[in-house]
Amino acid sequence: MTLLMGAVAYDPKVVTIWNGFRSWLQNRGLSFDFVLYSHYERQVEDLAAGKIHAAWNSPLAWLRAQRLADANGRQLTPLVMRDTDRNLTSVIIVRADSPYEKVADLEGATVGVGAVDSPQATLIPCSFLREAGLVPGENLTVRRFDVGVGLHGDHIGGERDAARALLAGEIEAAAIIDMNHLLFGKEGTLPPGSTRVLAQTPAYDHCNLSVVDDAPQDEVRKLGQLLLSMSYTDPEVRPLFDLEGLTAWHEGRSSGYAMLDAAVREQAFYDAEGRVTAREYRP
């Protein structure tokens, strides 16, 4: 039986990555294929309905898939995740010459965030700011940069636009994932020394390869074993790993999503049955 996985085409490289992984897996005896989706919501619905066996899910997609599965008496398992999906943080950055010294100083300021559905640049940072006493619409203005809506923040254009707006003086602070703070420095979006980190969230996990309970178990087991056996020293694997942003696969875990889950409930993004309840979200 062919194990069928869903992946969201947030970038053309997704085709290259999963074509390469498919060939590698098939050459080792696993019948594996993938289908592409234009956004996560359709992929999640198909996964929870059993139309696909597995999905490469964003953290937000994982939480919705769990809700949908639970509502239908099904179960999902996070099979594997990248080494780079573990223990990530988001940061609130300000211009280097700004007067702000702590999060509370942002009262009355405007903070730029990513797309409405970005876990790392919108949902988690807004929850983090709210916990610090800064409530959007009350004593804080949040300016969203909605780029690639439906891609759950995988398209980082919104974060990049927020960073540019910060440098231009249009906003007083910006929320981005820590790794993009480094990336934007390397690519020149944020010149060295132009910004500083005002605050950092606790750690959380990002994507995982989610598997539905009625997927063919022998194939699922073999997929997990093969992915975990992949080595960065393998010349066939290394370019794919570089494109996908990892150096090793690790066993999946569900323990790193509590902060995002709290943000989803707090901001009424999905309801308990997995319905989309965010009023401004149209993937």
- Chain centroid to CA 255: 15
How confident is the model at residue 93, as a pLDDT?
A: 98
pLDDT tens-digit map of 6-47:
999 999 999 999 999 999 999 999 999 999 999 999 999 999
With cut-offs at 50, 70 and 90, classify the pLDDT of residue 87. very high
pLDDT tens-digit map of 124-157:
999 999 999 999 999 999 999 999 999 999 999 9
| Range 232-256 average pLDDT | 97
pLDDT tens-digit map of 179-194:
999 999 999 999 999 9
Reported pTM: 0.96
Average pLDDT, rounded, for the chain: 97
pLDDT tens-digit map of 100-133:
999 999 999 999 999 999 999 999 999 999 999 9
